[in-house]
Amino acid sequence: MIPPQQLISPDFQRFTSQQVVRDGVMDVYLHRPSGRTEINGGGFGRQTIQTLHLDDDLYGFLLNALVELDALIDLDFRLVNNPDFADLSFYLDSEINLGDSDGLTLGIALTNNVDGRGFWEVMLNTPAFDGNQNYLRVCVQGSGRPAARMQA
């Protein structure tokens, strides 16, 4: 088993264990359609993003990654069809602009607490990968790592 502190920062691990995963199961929502989508946005607040289609190839990669991760850590994963029931919602965004000039934001992981329910939202700035599926896959694998914000 991989210790949680090697996968996620202590603050995020505490949030996940106390607010998100209380039943030993991480409910995961993989947003597949493209179009205007409302998210909770963590500290940035509710907003509408323009999602991109999650194709079958990347969807299959994500499912396989969850199966592999499930075998490595003491946590079960379950797919759900609605973000309202998810502990983790995953989106391919058409743009992530944090208003800073520190570089190109590749993705962002946001903690949310709405009506006493804690959950994560992860968005990848898909155009920033310039069509390189391998680069996108590396960042998907890294989305569970300590940094909540990955930058190039």
Residue 132 or residue 81, greater confidence: 81
The C-alpha atoms of residue 85 and residue 121 are separated, in whole angstroms, by 12
Counting residues of the chain whose pLDDT is more than 90, the rounded percentage is 29
Q: Per-residue DSSP letters for 59-82?
A: HHHHHHHHHHHHHHSS-EEEE-S-
β-bridge pairing 105-114 and 149-151:
antiparallel
If you compute the radius of gyration of the chain from its CA atoms, what whole number of angstroms results? 15
| Domain count across the chain | 1
Whether the pLDDT of residue 32 is over 80: the answer is: yes
Residue 1 or residue 94, greater confidence: 94
Q: Using one digit for the tens of pLDDT, what is the confidence trace for 16-28?
A: 666 566 777 888 9
CATH value at residue 16 = 3.40.390
Q: What is the pLDDT of residue 99?
A: 76
Residue 20 or residue 80, greater confidence: 80
- Tell me the residue range of the domain where 43 lies: 4-151
β-bridge pairing 35-39 and 47-51:
antiparallel
